[in-house]
Amino acid sequence: MTALSIPLEDTELRSLLHELGAEAARFRFDVAPNPCVGAAILSRGKVIARGFHERWGGDHAEVEALEVATRSGVPRAEWDTLVVTLEPCSTRGKTGPCTQAIMEAGIESVVIGSVDPDPRHQGQGIRFLEDAGLEARFLTGAAPLDEVTPHFLDWTCQDRLRRPYPWIVAKWAQTATGQLSPPKGHGDGRTISSPEALEQVQHLRASVDAILTGVGTVVADDPRLTVRAPARTPQAPDRIILDSGLRTSPDARLFDAPEAGESAGPIRILCATGPDRAREKGLIVAGAGVHGLRGDDRRFLNLRGIMTWMWDMGYRRVLLESGPTLLEACFEAGFVDQVRVVTGPVRGGRGESLGARLQPAKLGSRRDGECGPDSVLEAFIVR
């Protein structure tokens, strides 16, 4: 590996990597389980463009930086260096390989802050760049993964790689005293969140591969689980219903045709093996896919089996929108990776406070904010 001919000292490059890492970390809850990554394009030692991985399924930082560079006014022939906090990917996932985009842009030199911790890809990015004739090297320590994107270390740990399951984002709304149902006489009797918070939910739904809920929620709330305006998505998330005994009604609103400005993903109902054939046929005719899974017995589904099934189906980021029973079960089994909790100002409500039931859960990196009159907590779960 040759020394890079970049008109910047290592101290300046480290400072730039630190800045890129800090900025990239702002998007951690929007991209997880993907890593937070920042990149910059240099021309003769001057930064002409920066880019970040900002949302799940969106462009990676390197591609975003290259796109920004095209609008910088600096001719492509003068782009000479790319600085990036994490080793560029060399395989195709939701987007194309960044190494290919870097090579095609005519970049000559690449400075990388951290090696990819995933043993399946580690070192492949830099080898691809070197084989293509680019100068590349690591400049570690300026944007350490445990600071910039610690959740990615959890995602790529040996235990997770050995028994993989999707990244689970648990979302719920609660009253100021922790109940998931509002007090009697409040609004429509079901909704706690403000219109502003409900709008944010649409953007969250648009950022996942699937939405997971239980039949109890379907029966009690008759939800649509769609993506509605102003959110937009090229492909609406699949809607997965856990329904051991096929209690979902073929007349549920899940099966209604999408309205204008609404996107509805496929419906997949998971039941215990040996379902009632008449009920199964009715749901299939209504438009659902019915999947029988082995459970703890013939009546109940097994959470580990559900997680494995979702992984095998290709779901990587899943939104858990359910009632307290399924929420608590997923927390107790250690499957929840990330939470988004919307707390409304109304006090009281029906049922036990969820906070008391989830007390053992430990929060890691968190972000507190407001959405209209509601408070919003986003956090990663520490195991």
What is the rounded CA–CA span in Å between residue 143 and residue 38?
Answer: 10
Same domain, 108 and 176: no
Same domain, 78 and 191: no
Same domain, 147 and 199: no
Question: Looking at the domain assignment, is residue 157 inside a domain?
Answer: no
What's the longest Cα–Cα distance across the chain?
73
Q: Which residue shows structure tokens 């990239």?
A: 24
- For residues 263-284, one letter each, b for 16 or more C-beta atoms within 10 angstroms of the residue's C-beta and e for the rest, the string is bbbebbbbbbeebeeebbebbe
Domain boundary among 130, 152, 174: 152
Looking at residue 45, what is its pLDDT?
92
Looking at residue 189, what is its pLDDT?
64
- For residues 351-364, one letter each, b for 16 or more C-beta atoms within 10 angstroms of the residue's C-beta and e for the rest, the string is eebbeebbeebeee
Same domain, 79 and 187: no
What is the rounded CA–CA span in Å between residue 170 and residue 376?
Answer: 13
Q: Global pTM?
A: 0.93
Walking along the chain (383 residues) 10 residues at a time, the average pLDDT comes out as 63 96 98 98 96 96 98 95 96 87 96 95 95 94 91 95 97 91 72 90 96 96 92 88 96 95 96 86 97 74 95 98 94 95 89 71 92 96 88
Catalytic residue from among 19, 62, 87, 378: 62
What is the rounded CA–CA span in Å between residue 149 and residue 144?
Answer: 8
Same domain, 111 and 202: no
Looking at residue 360, what is its pLDDT?
65
Looking at residue 2, what is its pLDDT?
43
Q: Residue 231's domain is classified under what CATH number?
A: 3.40.430.10
Same domain, 183 and 140: no
Looking at residue 181, what is its pLDDT?
84
Looking at residue 143, what is its pLDDT?
87
Question: Looking at the domain assignment, is residue 4 inside a domain?
Answer: no
Q: Residue 17's domain is classified under what CATH number?
A: 3.40.140.10
User: Are the beta carbons of 152 and 145 closer than 8 angstroms?
Assistant: yes
Query: Which domain does 121 fall in, by range?
Result: 10-152
Same domain, 109 and 170: no
Number of neighbours of residue 162 by Cβ within 10 angstroms: 7
Domain boundary among 114, 129, 152: 152
Question: Looking at the domain assignment, is residue 321 inside a domain?
Answer: yes
Tally of domains in the chain: 2
Same domain, 121 and 167: no
Domain boundary among 131, 152, 173: 152
Identity at 172, one-letter amino acid code = W
Same domain, 193 and 342: yes
What is the rounded CA–CA span in Å between residue 252 and residue 286?
Answer: 9
Question: Looking at the domain assignment, is residue 2 inside a domain?
Answer: no
Same domain, 267 and 337: yes
Question: Looking at the domain assignment, is residue 158 inside a domain?
Answer: no
Question: Looking at the domain assignment, is residue 352 inside a domain?
Answer: yes
Task: Give the CA distances from residue 113 to residues 126, 137, 333, in Å, rounded to whole numbers and listed in that order.
Answer: 12, 9, 35
What is the rounded CA–CA span in Å between residue 172 and residue 211?
Answer: 13
- For residues 110-147, one letter each, b for 16 or more C-beta atoms within 10 angstroms of the residue's C-beta and e for the rest, the string is bbbbbbbbbeeeeebbbebbeeeebbbbebeebbbbee
Question: Looking at the domain assignment, is residue 139 inside a domain?
Answer: yes
What is the rounded CA–CA span in Å between residue 102 and residue 134?
Answer: 10
Question: Looking at the domain assignment, is residue 204 inside a domain?
Answer: yes
Helices and strands in the chain: count of H runs, count of E runs: 14, 16
9 is annotated as an active-site residue: no
What is the rounded CA–CA span in Å between residue 327 and residue 214?
Answer: 9
What are 4-12's contacts with CB under 8 Å, separation 24+?
4/81, 4/109, 4/111, 4/135, 4/136, 4/137, 5/109, 5/135, 6/42, 6/45, 6/80, 6/81, 6/109, 6/111, 7/44, 7/45, 8/42, 8/45, 10/139
Looking at residue 5, what is its pLDDT?
58
Same domain, 288 and 202: yes
Same domain, 178 and 127: no
